[in-house]
Structure 1
Amino acid sequence: MNTPSTPIQHLPVIIVGGGQAGLSVSYYLQEQSIEHLIFERKTLMHSWQSQRWDSFTLVTPNWQCNLPGHPYDGDEPMGFMKRDDIVAYLKRFADKLKPPVREGVTVNRLSVNADGSYEVFTSAGHYRCDQVVIASGGYQAPIIPRMAEKLPSTLFQMHSAQYKNPAQLPDGAVLVVGSGQSGAQIAEDLHLAGRKVILATGDAPRVARQYRGKDVVEWLDEMGYYNISVDQHPLREGVRDNTNHYVTGRDGGREIDLRRFATEGMELYGTMEDFDGENLLFRRNLAANLDHADSVYRNINSRIDTWINEQCIDAPLAKEYLPPWQPELERSKLKLADADIGCVLWCIGYRPDFAWLDTPVFNGMGHPQHRRGVSPQAGLYFIGLPWLHTWGSGRFSGVAKDAEFLAQQISAQLTAKKMGVEMV
């Protein structure tokens, strides 16, 4: 609590979150000599160190790492950095930047005053600011469904955010729930370690790693896909609900084909729905999930083919993909007692948690409303969210452009305030 001897500190800008997005905004604010302070609940780049498994790699090539003033500085631009290399790359960025940050400080509540300024209540005291950037990301609260409560208390359960390696899991088969990027890659990690894996699939799409002589990311970059804005996308803001394609950068990069895993002994099921006290229950949609993933895979390849033809590019021809496995039947039940499952690993993502943000800028799904990170509430901004502006917004490739844009908005607001002009 503040007392007369501890006056409320007033700052032009406060940034909430010390990941690459928050630090990128700090870079551009420093360029313009705009005073600001970053609050980070843990330590800088904490999630990269604590919420990634041991074999984690980037799924985009290293050359796409382009933080402001800090492009990829290694020897393998076409490779895929491992977790420890990513952490080291980000530490070098922070060391260059020397950001004004308070680590270990939690923002408990943030509200707006009648005059448009902001009250920021933290674990380290009370602050006030003119503008605030929310850089805490959209992956804050791990999702574990309520049906998990029905499973036996003796069954070990874990979210992907806690997973490090197969050795930390108890003996027995591992039920991996979810086949998005994390689920597919963790299922592969366990499979390569010789663990029995039962995978409850979802509707996540997949993408090739290499196609017609190049990494698919390189083709898509040439085609301008990473620069298409939300406003230009056919789905408009609906694209933010899309699931990321599964692929991996492991061992130099390769595609992930769940059908091939099935030929090697991984058990595949449709989407898990419930537990009836004896059986795990699944939708009969395994074939549909696999077909959907393959359809997206082929569609992306087809678009690359069109681009190659239109640009008269000399590229090697590709072999047609032939599914190596088809489910013979749709299994809707798995008796838990007979499956020898020692662990359930939930890989169904995260949900945003902005309960501490007391401003009316959220839609019915609890997601912040914004246009390129600029919210309807003057002086309140978001960065680091998937598809904030483009496909690259949630990646190392696009966050710098988003941060530079927001810094320009912040500067314009501060200038307008000094001149007594109200910006709309």
Structure 2
Amino acid sequence: MRSGDETMPEAANESVPHHAVVVVGGGQAGLSISYYLKARGLDHVVFEKDVAMGAWSKQRWDNFCLVTPNWQCQLPGHPYEGPEPDGFMKKDEIIAYLDAFKRKVDAPLREGVAVKRVKARAGGGFEVTTSAGTVTADQVVATSGGYHTPIIPRLAERLPASIHQLHSEQYRNAQSLPQGAVLVVGSGQSGAQIAEDLHLAGRTVHLAVGDAPRCARFYRGKDVVTWLAEMGYYDMPVERHPLREGVRDNTNHYVTGRDGGRDIDLRKFATEGMKLYGLLDGLDGTTLTFAPTLKSALAEADRVYNGINAAIDKHIAEKGIAAPPPSVYEPVWEPEADPVALDLAAEGITSIIWCIGFQPDFRWLDAPVFNGAGHPQHYRGVTQVPGVYFLGLPWLHTWGSGRFSGIDRDARYVADRIEELAKGETMPLKAAG
């Protein structure tokens, strides 16, 4: 059989390797489910197209750090045990933490093997075609996350060739960009932090602001994440969230753990020379146009910021907690008008960084488990197709599902369902998320 042959008959073939479980993706989700499969004595293999946890070194800029406190790093059997539980690990520290987890799990890992197709077999189970050949499996877990294809708008094709363009996953540092001003498009966590990184490096920064909300870093004596954890927010399942499954489409709040942690206040950046715009709308020659949304975007981000703090105020009052007095954020800058145009040449812009996210790409999984937008439908990672699971997606179950804080609980739950099916037991699917 040729490597990667997708024409193998579905009938059983003793020459084809078989595993009880195939795990697709060797990031923190893939190694977390491996941890629990090993504990249950379940045969499995983890396929990773690159190197395990490679995204953390290849898709993060040099000054990247966590935006949640280190104490939230709770991978299976591998809690953060460093000297700064309330600090924010930097890129090198995160990689070291993950490398230690990889060694501890010692998963049956096959790096450099890409999964090209998974399809059901007529006799039961699945045929898994990889770049290194074909295997069969009783069950399959997709742990490759939902951030696969970088989003870059088609208008980028019409920009002058002299403009250096890159996606957020390619950005490393200010020194790696050509001399000149930089336009950052998108103000989610990556966009806001990259804009800050460039701003602190002394670069002239233009930022196209989207609809991302923001939150305080510290409030009334504690990190806001600590308050929200005490309030039970991070244990709230998606079905109890006011937005239900719609929360999975939300943009994350922007804040930073840099230099010990602080707010990211775009208004303050504006007072220091950063130039802000609304949503990117079009391109006319060398002039970009923007929707008149800057004022409303800043106001909405501040509304969310103050709303989170007000919820903390209520919690403090109800519990009778001694804490510093409350406060309300007041804007330190207001645009005179919504800017609607930016002449790239006139402003000396030589680089554009696209920070508008990723699209999922599960085309390799041939199973009826997706909605019309191509997103998986599941309940806590369990799909309506027996033996097909997802792990590591944002809000798979709770806020922490795609993060170091919640993957343990999710992996344990999915492993339990895998074991039940392997034993011939069943558990009804409560809902399709």
TM-score range, shorter chain: over 0.9
CA contact (8 A) 2:159 2:286 kept: no
Seen in structure 2, the aligned counterparts of structure 1 residues 6 and 344 have a Cα distance that, compared at 3 Å, is farther
SS at structure 2 position matched to 1:174: strand
Q: CA–CA distance in 2 between the matches of 1:130 and 1:42?
A: 24
141, 159, 172: which one aligns with 2:149: 141
Please state if 1:336 is matched with 2:336: no
254, 268, 271: which one aligns with 1:263: 271
CA contact (8 A) 1:116 1:378 kept: no
Q: CA–CA distance in 2 between the matches of 1:157 and 1:266?
A: 19
Give the alignment of 1:12-91 within 5 angstroms.
Answer: 12-91=20-99
Deviation of residue 6 (structure 1)?
Answer: 8.6
Q: CA–CA distance in 2 between the matches of 1:423 and 1:386?
A: 23
Seen in structure 2, the aligned counterparts of structure 1 residues 172 and 413 have a Cα distance that, compared at 3 Å, is same
CA contact (8 A) 1:416 1:423 kept: no
Q: RMSD in angstroms over aligned alpha carbons? A: 1.5
Deviation of residue 358 (structure 1)?
Answer: 1.1
Q: CA–CA distance in 2 between the matches of 1:422 and 1:312?
A: 42
Deviations 1:314-337 (A, max 9, x none): 101133321110000111111222
Deviation of residue 422 (structure 1)?
Answer: 10
The answer for the alignment partner of 2:212 in structure 1 is: 204
CA contact (8 A) 2:64 2:91 kept: yes
Deviation of residue 423 (structure 1)?
Answer: 7.5
- Report the AA paired with residue 280 of structure 2: M
Please state if 1:377 is matched with 2:388: no
Q: CA–CA distance in 1 between the matches of 2:355 and 2:391?
A: 24
SS at structure 1 position matched to 2:97: helix
Q: CA–CA distance in 2 between the matches of 1:112 and 1:345?
A: 41
Give the alignment of 1:9-408 within 5 angstroms.
Answer: 9-408=17-416
Deviation of residue 114 (structure 1)?
Answer: 2.9
Q: CA–CA distance in 2 between the matches of 1:31 and 1:133?
A: 17
Q: CA–CA distance in 1 between the matches of 2:186 and 2:110?
A: 36
Q: CA–CA distance in 1 between the matches of 2:388 and 2:190?
A: 31
Deviation of residue 222 (structure 1)?
Answer: 0.2
SS at structure 1 position matched to 2:47: strand
Gaps of 5+ in 2: none
Deviation of residue 2 (structure 1)?
Answer: 4.8
Deviation of residue 380 (structure 1)?
Answer: 0.3
Seen in structure 2, the aligned counterparts of structure 1 residues 221 and 124 have a Cα distance that, compared at 3 Å, is same
Q: CA–CA distance in 2 between the matches of 1:337 and 1:308?
A: 52
Q: CA–CA distance in 2 between the matches of 1:284 and 1:90?
A: 43
CA contact (8 A) 2:209 2:276 kept: yes
Q: CA–CA distance in 2 between the matches of 1:321 and 1:229?
A: 30
Q: CA–CA distance in 1 between the matches of 2:398 and 2:202?
A: 39
Give aligned-pair identity as a percent.
Answer: 60
Divergent runs of 4+, >4 A: 2-6, 421-424
CA contact (8 A) 1:413 1:423 kept: no
Deviations 1:342-399 (A, max 9, x none): 1000000111011111111111111011110001111000000000000011111100
SS at structure 2 position matched to 1:207: coil
Deviation of residue 293 (structure 1)?
Answer: 0.5
Q: CA–CA distance in 2 between the matches of 1:423 and 1:148?
A: 47
SS at structure 2 position matched to 1:39: strand
CA contact (8 A) 1:205 1:245 kept: yes
Q: CA–CA distance in 2 between the matches of 1:179 and 1:423?
A: 41
- Report the AA paired with residue 312 of structure 2: I
SS at structure 1 position matched to 2:302: helix
SS at structure 2 position matched to 1:397: coil
CA contact (8 A) 1:208 1:247 kept: yes
CA contact (8 A) 2:160 2:286 kept: no
**How many corresponding residue pairs?**
421
Q: CA–CA distance in 2 between the matches of 1:297 and 1:337?
A: 36
Deviation of residue 12 (structure 1)?
Answer: 0.3
CA contact (8 A) 1:56 1:82 kept: yes
SS at structure 2 position matched to 1:21: helix
Gaps of 5+ in 1: none
SS at structure 1 position matched to 2:320: coil
- Report the AA paired with residue 136 of structure 2: R
Q: CA–CA distance in 2 between the matches of 1:102 and 1:377?
A: 26
SS at structure 2 position matched to 1:337: coil
